[in-house]
Each structure stands twice: as C-alpha cells, then as structure tokens.
Amino acid sequence: MTQRSQNFVSLNDHLCFSIYTTSRAIQRMYRPLLDDLNLTYPQYLTLVALWENGPQTVSQLGNKLDLDSGTLTPMLKRMEKANLIVRHRDVMDERVVLVELTEKGKRMQADSAIIPQTLLEKSGLDSDEWHTLNKTMKKLMVHVSE
C-alpha cells in the first residue's frame, strides 16, 4: 500500500473494473468457438440482431447494438466480404443502407447456439444469480446512460 488518501478506491473496489475485465474475459472464452465460425464477437452480436429482427438499416442495427456508423460501416463491409450479409441502398431513400442476411448468414444460426450456452454452463451461476445479474446490469446500463 503506497497511497495515503482517505477516500482512495482500490482497483478491486472499482465496479467498472470488474465489469470491464469480465466482459473481456467472456470474449476471450468465446474466441475459440467464434474462430471456428470465422466470426468476431461484435459480428456474432450483429448476426443475432439480424436473426432476431430480419433485415434492418444501419442505424437500426446501431440502436440495437449500441454502436455508431464509425464502427458498423467497416465491420458490415467485412461481413459482406465474408458473404454473411448484403448491403444495398434503399430505393425509396438513397441515404438509407439496408442490411440483410445471405443464405450463408442464415445458415449460421443453427451452429451458433453453443455460444450463449457455453457462457450459461461455464458461468458457475445458478438461475437466480443469473437473472438477478442480467436485471441489475440492465438497470445500471439505463442509469449510466442518462
């Protein structure tokens, strides 16, 4: 212990730190599974959003995933190159880019069920803890975003 201030908060008492570190640890755990599918973690989440809600515009995807065009545009281009999605401008409004799954992108849904299942199994949390945690995270998310 080097610090002397009374109100100093240690690294381990930083809630932000345990969230930040755990988030990255989950992505590390997923990596070998996602590598088999030739996906990155944000790409996987994008596919989940498309499987769930069908074709969407870039900004709709951005709202769901909480990502902006600066992140999405290059990532979606990589996903298009990998033949997972197609992007084309809306004929009615040329500003809008619509994103939709290719057949390959649709087929990947079946193989990807292991991803959330693996976290569930490895988490070491019982059903109560799991749901409480998910609820608390969402509550925290809302408050922090205000």
Residue numbers of the site for DNA (CB under 7 A)?
20, 24, 27-28, 31, 40-43, 57-60, 62, 66-76, 78, 87, 92-97
**b/e sequence 17-50, b meaning 16+ C-beta within 10 Å:** eeeeeeeeeeeeebeebbeebebbbebbbbbbbb
> Pick from 32, 92, 124, 127: which binds a copy of itself (CB under 8 A)?
124
Q: Is 68 left (phi over 0), alpha (psi -120 to 50) or beta?
A: beta
Residues paired with 87 in a beta bridge = 99
CB 1 within 8 A of CB 12: no
Give the SS3 label for residue 106. Answer: helix
Rounded CA-CA distance 37/96 in Å is: 29
Closer to DNA by Cβ: residue 59 or 109 = 59
| Contact partner, 76, from DNA, a copy of itself, none, Cβ < 5-8 Å per class | DNA
Q: Is 142 in the site for a copy of itself (CB under 8 A)?
A: yes
| Contact partner, 64, from DNA, a copy of itself, none, Cβ < 5-8 Å per class | a copy of itself
Region 3-62 residues binding a copy of itself, contact defined as CB under 8 A: 3, 5, 7-11, 13-30, 41, 45, 48-49, 51-54
Measured in degrees and rounded to the nearest 5, phi and psi for residue 138 equal -70, -40
> Pick from 32, 103, 110, 127: which binds a copy of itself (CB under 8 A)?
110
| Contact partner, 95, from a copy of itself, DNA, none, Cβ < 5-8 Å per class | DNA
